[in-house]
Structure 1
Amino acid sequence: MEQELPRIVSVDDHVIEPAHLFETWLPAKYRERGPKPLTAGIGELAYVGGKYRITMDPEGPPTDWWIYEDLKFPYKRNIAAVGFDRDEMTLEGITRAEMRPGCWDPAERLKDMDLNHVEASLCFPTFPRFCGQTFAEAHDKEVALACVRAYNDWMVEEWCGDSGGRLVPLCIVPLWDIGLAVAEIRRNAARGVRAVTFSEIPTYLGLPSIHSGYWDPFFAVCQDTGTVVNMHIGSSSQMPAASPDAPPAVQAALSFNNAMASMTDFLFSGVLVRFPRLKLAYSEGQMGWIPYALERADDVWEEHRAWGGVRDLVPEPPSTYYYRQIFCCFFRDKHGVASLDAVGRDNATFETDYPHVDSTFPHTKQVALDHVKDLDDETVYKLMRGNAIRMLGLDLDT
């Protein structure tokens, strides 16, 4: 008899923005200067040193783009991969008409969630990029701020609005202005939003580091409003690359490195000491690396804290703050499950990564069962939904 599995709450999925988003949600006075959808040919795509190289080509395959200031942003098959065979999940361009409709249509997404044993889903942006870098890099910051707010309004009212709480809003902030970022957190928290996306390594984006104190008002408002800070791999616009000419498979295999670097940064920053109720979530980083990272951090704290600059900054072993305040997530990570006592049975959550190449759709239930088959029912519940419900303050089991 097949083991029962609680319905999943996925803490990391993705949305392909519909073509009407900014025409509908951006105030009229900004629309001419805002992002515009376009279907046009695409040239050869390359992924070199952890970054994409993209060209337009009128003779190339039709592709759906966003055109915004001097940015030309195409949708690619590897980010709208569900429905394609594994060997078809390439860097070729794609139109929304070629995608599975659940990529961009909320009603269709709910149907796909039902097919995939998923009750609720938290979705990261695509065109704005994982933490809104697209708008942070824009020249006209007045329009960029309007775009951030328009995206968040669409996310809350249209993408999540009719889902009965099953689509969980995840908002972005204007990263270039701490005061505006704080105000946007408060604006969204007032309408029930409890999740924001942030860069795993802000300095890679040319922003102040978490050690500088610059972000403290942001962390403070997230703590005060119960807003979880979600950091997706790649939210620093740079994936780890061992060599600049390495094939993209190297970056894919090393993707957890950014999460590991970011978590270590936070553990030694004093941020979690100053904000003891702040919750951090690492998205798509997996978790098998966490036991050693914590062991090493605690060892460095014990042996090297005087010269290491953290003697007066971090009063307890760094793992103390991890277990208290940090969530990880996984979708394929048997080593992490085997190390669950060190990873933390109250710290691990689950994801499906729909509709990316890594997505387990439509076989997520089977993949999950294969991972948790030797665990007790209480732990299975925590991993599949309980920890995510607690992390995000959801009403699903009340």
Structure 2
Amino acid sequence: MAGRLVIDFGNAYTVAAYWRQVSRQAETLYVPGVMRPIRTSTDRNGKAVYAAPALILYGGAAEEYLIGQEVAENLSGLTDDRKIFSNLKLDIITGKRVYSAAGGRRLSGQEIARDYIAAVISRAGQALGLGSEAVITFTVPVAACMDEAVWQRYRSWLAGAVRQAGFTRMELVEHPWAAAWGAGMRIKPEDRYLVLDLDAGIVEAAVVQAGHSLGCDERQLRVLSHVREWLMGPTVGQASDNECANQLETILQQTLRQAARLGYAGDDLAGVIVTGDGGQQLPFKQGIHDFFVGIPIYDKRLLDAAACGAAALTAGFDACGYIRHNYGLRYLDQDHYQYRLLTVSGTFYPSDGPVAELTIRAGYEGQQEYALFIYRLEQGGSHCINEDSPLIITTGAPASSGQAAIQASISIDGAGQLVVTAYEVGSKQILVNNAPAAKLM
């Protein structure tokens, strides 16, 4: 098993994901003893998400502790007064230093959380067979995306956990980007969307705006509003369903009012991303849909959207997936070159099905090899982007000049690559299947 490890650290659960190159999709990672399967859908046939409860229980020494599902499975056998630590993430965000007796020492909340996440990294890295040089990717909560001091504090804490786990390299991906991509939302520059995280009794809502740096393709994220509150403080079960739903509505209204003060209306949101274990509770689910009538809501991947989205991004997929130029295929027509338009500027990727379907004819007697040269089409002329490595399709039988030889279907994958599926007209044999022809920009 291989792939870059991604960690999405939550208040209730931590999800590890990786990119499976064979299937070209992100999957959650199962770590024996630490993770457990969780279904966030009422569909019994739905795929379970592997997640580790955000729990740590120390033994007699500081280096002895159980994490995740190990703690949950030992609750019934716990006969002493050792404390189970939960809600580990909050102290990292707030910067508070509250000390507790743990493993024969007094440890701060940040140190306890570091022990937990370092153990998750170590165990997950072993499951993937990663070496110490591997890059570990983390999602960064929205609170850190809007405050440089919080970002640096969170980054420094993560770096310590990575070193403790025996690794040296890490990469950060903003949670709103990762969650949107993993949830299936297509984002284009200037889109505004709301991210709602319902995690272990804590509600975090933020309106964010996507963008790109001037003169380059680096993604940028602007946080327009942010609200974080406990739900009926702090245990949801202390309040009725109606009270919790009403409190959630108040939080959403407050979030939209903050954005409105900057001149951004709530009715033009491109979508709403819902994450966290609380999103599957019916009062919240129904309340969210009632509140955002007419706005797309992405709530099918509550636990794994951020982790899997980050895995896709680190594999080369772009959350702002759109093509910035026109592209075409050059062909010879009666001794003159012509261009067949394939895709236009502004096209989103991955594409919903083919962007072009075409028939390729033989240019001379006995032709069996066909090279696909892709050109960027501009007002001042055209430029071949795959001149050194064109996709070459070879047929099984020679064709006569002008004879239809290949039927091709062209689409754009999640990495912005033009991919081709083609079969031979005569034999119907598939010649290439989703073969990359060129990387578009």
Relative to its length, the structure with more helix (as a share) is 1
Larger radius of gyration: 2
User: TM-score normalized by structure 2?
Assistant: 0.29
With the length of structure 1 as denominator, give the TM-score of the two structures.
0.32
* Structure of greater relative contact order (alpha carbons < 8 Å, 6+ residues apart): 1
Higher strand fraction: Structure 1 or Structure 2? 2
